[in-house]
Amino acid sequence: MRKLLAALIVAAFLSVPAFVSSAQDEPDVIYYNANIVTLDAGGSTADAVAVKDGKFMKVGAAGELKKLAAPSTKMIDLGGKTVVPGLIDAHCHPMEAMMMKETWVDCRYPETPSVKVALEHIAAWAKKAPKGAWIFAACVSASENKFEEKRLPTKAELDLASPDNPILVANGTHMGIANSLALKKLGITKGMAKLPHGGSVILDKDGEPTGVLTDAQADVPTTPTVAQLEKYYTKDIQEFWNAHGFTSFMAITPAAALPVLQKIAGAKVQPTIRYTTSIWTSANGKDMPEDLAKFRMPETADPAWYKFGAIKVWIDGENDCRTGFMYGPYVGHFDTDSPGGRGTLVTPQADADRFAGIADKNGVISMMHCSGDEAMDIGLTAYENQIKRGATEKIVRIEHFGMFQMSDKQLTRAKALIDKNFKISIQPTWLLDLVKADYENMGSERTVTGFKFRSMIDAGLEPAAGSDVTGIYLDNINPFLAIYASVTRESDKGIFVPEQAVSITEALKMWTIWAAKSMGEADMKGSIEPGKYADMTVLSDDILTMPKEDLKDVKILKTIVGGNIVYEAKKTD
């Protein structure tokens, strides 16, 4: 009897496979034959990943991972190419980028080298525009330094270009030159120095508006139509960012445009890029509501793709158009300068404190734009005051931290805030655009205190990189221009403070894991690890071994979001 029972047990055991697989154990896709830079805590590499339900199931050796494959598993050979975590743009303006790219007159330097040529472009556009329609023109930041005439168009010149259309010429995004009809449409009259939503009006000695407006982004009617917004949010934005390797971004979004995105999110329209929104209402944030419930995504929205994450305010303008708020005056004088010559204070300390409090109370990230050195101190003080009031440890950020100026004392203050979830965003590509203008606008002593990325990293700040693409510098969407500038310290004025160079790995972290941390999302993105979203970027070159001078030429071969290829470069002969 015992022998019979034993035989039955053995027979039963032999009839059952040693491992029973189920659909839960079967990857949807395996990517293999790749040089995978995971950026996990151990700095490991791999040559394959298995993906299930849009997340990394396993990361490791191809030989092991292939054993997991089922008949339905897709097998994709990446041809030995270098793969990095999906790139993250930690600070950008996607709606504005599409609007400026598609509907504004292109007056961008260097293709537009002078005021004369810019006016010709505007006049040609006006001939085709309906009478009374707004005309907006995009000039790059610091055009007053770059144009041959070393100035911007004047109100009188714009009147001649088109007396029947309101015109606004943007010098970057923090300054605009309006013609007479535009001033009339905006209700700007003699003696009016401030606009309702934080913008400023530059007046001449008699109190007449010169046409120069600063930080008037909420005071000028630029929001696209609903149809345009739907196209931007379902097609144009994701295609533009995916083509440059991006899988996720902090999308700084005007409150006026948010309802369209909320509608799309609520309808479960799945994009090919992950939206985390930072909402702004006006430059100075005075109309930011105490309760931010209306900015949240609908309950039907998938948080893997659509999230309300932050609110944003501008403490000042920007140093490239001489409106960043500084302790000392700018060098020389331009007719576009703010009164006093030290830039423009948009949001004073008390209002900055209130703004930080609103973000904390609602459990979202506070983002403060600070360009000039005095503005930087206002932002730091606002967050220090939050701590004194016993605020929670929700992330607080300074945007453009130390890009134009940063003192040793400010770095020390920032370092002291790290354990209170203080984060910073930087824009490395500006090295290639604005260093020459910085020398002209601020002088060498102040200029060399900017772009100190090595010092930031050594202080433990883990800077998150952002393109800050608004449609002004369209090439800034290319993250490898930024990585090249960060590593080589090349600028538009030659090699700039070379001791502030960072390593290639550090530059890559700015666009991946550190960017994810700055958004409070490092648990789901920023590195290639099991359980995280299966977001990857496939590169044309091995960036960790190639000559650093060639980093600017790296191309995106594939962008993979949630395990799916959403962008693939066209093959060339």
Tell me which of 18-27, 251-260, 440-449 is least confident.
Answer: 18-27
pLDDT tens readout for residues 214-270: 999 888 888 799 999 999 999 999 999 999 999 999 999 999 999 999 999 999 999
pLDDT at 18: 39
pLDDT at 23: 61
Residue 17 has pLDDT above 70, yes or no: no
Stretch 293-305: mean pLDDT: 97
Q: How many CA atoms lie within 13 A of 23 on its CB side?
A: 2
* DSSP string of 543-555, one letter each residue: TTTS-GGGGGG--
Among residues of the chain, what percentage have pLDDT more than 90?
Answer: 92
Q: How many CB atoms lie within 10 A of CB 315?
A: 32
Stretch 162-188: mean pLDDT: 95
249-451-397 Cα angle (round to 5): 45
Domains in the chain, CATH or no CATH each: 94-214 (3.10.310.70), 279-527 (3.20.20.140)
pLDDT at 401: 98
pLDDT at 573: 47
Tell me which of 43-52, 196-205, 363-372 is least confident.
Answer: 196-205
Residues 487, 504 contacting (CB under 8 angstroms)? yes
Stretch 384-408: mean pLDDT: 94
Tell me which of 142-146, 379-383, 400-404 is least confident.
Answer: 142-146
Residue 559 has pLDDT above 70, yes or no: yes
Residue 21 has pLDDT above 80, yes or no: no
3-state secondary structure 463-510: CEECCCCCCCCHHHHCHHHHHHHHHHCCCECECCCHHHCCCHHHHHHH
Please give the mean pLDDT across all residues of the chain: 94
Q: Give the whole-angstrom CA distance, residue 539 versus residue 338.
A: 45
Among residues of the chain, what percentage have pLDDT more than 70?
Answer: 95
SS3 at position 214: strand
How far the first Cα of the chain sits from its last, in Å, is 76
pLDDT at 22: 55
Q: ω into residue 110 within 30 of 0, thus cis?
A: yes
Residue 6 has pLDDT above 90, yes or no: no
pLDDT at 15: 40
Stretch 441-447: mean pLDDT: 98
